A and B are shown apart, each in its own frame.
Chain A
């Protein structure tokens, strides 16, 4: 099979770090804070590499949009088994306002340029929880989509995807080329071992600007303010049902 897979990876604040809102309330503190690859993106990379190991795809290309630091994230994908990387340079204010719509336009343009047969993304990023990029990318390309995938198989020229939905599991068959977004149970990502990190330094990462792809990254959204969630107030213990009803009435709830 001569298929080429494009995998999108996002650099996000590590899930174990306690987030702090910036004093000017325009966003969260990111300087010096531990970042890592979005966990769902790790699963996406792992799935792509597994497909390559099964010889169902020929090449895995890892893509990330952002400033210089995202190269570390691409390197991790390379260390896990991706063949080459593409760094789409977005920095400063553009990076702060970069969202699913712009990223999906970039991925769609890259998919055409690289003649990709399959795009695998994480289902959502843990910083914005948007869960939109995969779906928007498929729409822009007019490709079928298999989202929340917990199992992916290539059968002849079609993709069989088992999706995690509210009611249980849904199995669909879609044509290639397609977009798949990875859910938690799709696989367990492998470690990026030190020898592989060392080898990854020799793999190529191409630099591209959004303008080269004909994409305008200006945002149509303006963030007005960012706040901590309200402090949870202590509850009150009541002795009897009578007291409970009384308190609910006091609070105007009944």
Chain B
């Protein structure tokens, strides 16, 4: 069956901060220079912002560059940071650590936001400028010209039954062709994974390393609510060799809302470790419980985030396409901020694409435009400088003293030298290779969830509103059906015949966090995109 095909000037995969900033920038330039430009954004979530999840503490630098009058336009930056606290937790106590000005975790001038709502607002700005937004449609395939350059993308065929046969409602996906395609799929994008191989984009950089972030929104007792208070912690319940920490932000959005969460580096070595349960356990720390007691959990979600920073930045442009945002990965890890850099990368990509597309005298060697100017602009930008200066902080944790060694390194080299030390520390290799065999590790006894502060995984997943059309092929594909052991989605169930277990993949429970694809030691799991509109239904996460 032939697929319907349409042409645009630029197609953007992913309606997140990077993709929408790129779209907005393109339309701003088009209007400035009185040119017509067709910009289409495809987004797998049913509505813009529904798959967005982040702390989040936003540095408004990129936003002010993109939309200087963001305040008048009603951008939902309602909570300026008023108090900034950092501490080391032990099982019972909390040791405050002073945040000296100049340390990356200083948040003066930043805003606590519900990133999903911010992304929704960006979407509205984009639509006003004439960007065509298509939420509910997932880009599942990269299309190539005969010369090997990227031609565009295709959305997935829908109406396929679990066994792969077409149902009555089967429809072919459509092809969207473009002069250049921007890929902004967020952390560990599945199309980006293909592109790395196709164009050997990772030949000169370290493999990306990741963490998983778990987050909840709580409505708390008004007496405990301090809008603008920003708290971060490290230490308990993680041991000193497992990278991770927590955040707790008091939002100012009408009701006494706090956003809290836990991040665990995916280079953890103990297969008994469950990031979800560490998160639930952390909430029982006396200093956290005091805030949550009497409150009500209203949302839950999870997403992988990139931690590789400077050392893991791949080649960003290839014939016909460019990578933007958390997909190649520009997160400033010690600041735990990636939104401002993602937005800036989208803007830089848009600017270089615009001049190439509108250049009437352009002679392109390939059918899809090759735009190395993006990479050059990127290297001259503040993203590059910022990521360079913090490049050694995350890898400095790979020492015997773990967390404490890392903090000492940060204190000495970052605070004093601002990352000017001449060496660049390496990461430890792929996260997937870090797990030690179970027999060499101590099982962790996690407390049972009490249903008031801590909860079980299935009720948490239900709270994310995640849903998929059930009769479709599972989108968590295995190259080979062997041993998998992740939580809500993968479980071993007894065979109906009685002896032995079989692997059951409950793909319906997937919140699209991508952690399984990252952490699987055998790299067997390949996450592909399910039918559009499926997945979580986050509201302002």
Contacts and interface: CB of A to CB of B under 8 A. Distances in A.
Interface of A: 14-18, 20, 23, 31-34, 36, 188-191, 193-195, 197-198
Which of B134, B169, B463 has the most A CB atoms < 10 Å from its CB? B169
Contacts of A33: 537, 539
Interface in B35-76: 42, 46-47, 49-50
Which of A15, A33, A191 has the most B CB atoms < 10 Å from its CB? A191
Contacts of B174: 193-195
Which of A31, A32, A36, A188 has the most B CB atoms < 10 Å from its CB? A32
Contacts of A198: 6, 132
Contact of A194 (B49, B117, B173, B466): B173
Contacts of A197: 134, 137
Nearest to B300: A18
Interface string B449-467: 0000000000000110111
A193 B158 contact: yes
A79 B318 CA distance: 35
A16 B462 CA distance: 8
A152 B233 CA distance: 63
Given A190-B171, A195-B4, A198-B6, A34 B463 contact: no
Contacts of B169: 188-191
B116 interface: yes
B125 interface: no
B539 A36 contact: no
Interface in B497-539: 537, 539
11 contacts: A16-B466, A16-B467, A32-B540, A33-B537, A34-B47, A34-B537, A36-B46, A193-B174, A194-B42, A194-B155, A198-B6
B137 A32 contact: no
A130 to B, nearest CB: 24
A23 B255 contact: yes
A220 to B, nearest CB: 31
Q: Is the contact region of chain A dominated by helix, strand, or loop, or is it mixed?
A: loop
Contacts of A15: 467
Interface in B189-215: none
Interface string B157-172: 0110000000111010
Given A191-B159, A195-B6, 11 more contacts: A14-B46, A17-B537, A34-B47, A34-B539, A188-B167, A190-B171, A193-B158, A193-B174, A194-B137, A194-B174, A197-B137
A189 B168 CA distance: 10
B158 A191 contact: yes
Contacts of A31: 539
Contacts of B466: 16
B219 A32 contact: no
Interface of B: 4, 6, 42, 46-47, 49-50, 116-117, 120, 132, 134, 137, 155, 158-159, 167-169, 171, 173-174, 219, 255, 298, 462-463, 465-467, 537, 539-540
Nearest to B49: A32
B465 A17 contact: yes
B171 A193 contact: yes
A193 to B, nearest CB: 5
A95 B42 CA distance: 31
Closest 6 CB pairs of A and B: A16-B467, A34-B537, A32-B539, A195-B4, A17-B465, A193-B171
Contacts of B540: 32
B466 to A, nearest CB: 7
A183 B240 CA distance: 59
A16 B171 CA distance: 24
A20 B298 contact: yes
A144 B411 CA distance: 80
A208 B42 CA distance: 32
Which of B42, B46, B462 has the most A CB atoms < 10 Å from its CB? B46
B134 A14 contact: no
B116 A32 contact: yes
B88 to A, nearest CB: 35
Which of A14, A36, A195, A198 has the most B CB atoms < 10 Å from its CB? A195
Contacts of B255: 23
B120 A32 contact: yes
B168 A188 contact: yes
Contacts of B467: 14-16
A34 B538 CA distance: 8
Contacts of A17: 465, 537
Contacts of B158: 191, 193
A199 to B, nearest CB: 10
A194 B4 CA distance: 9
B6 to A, nearest CB: 7
B219 A23 contact: yes
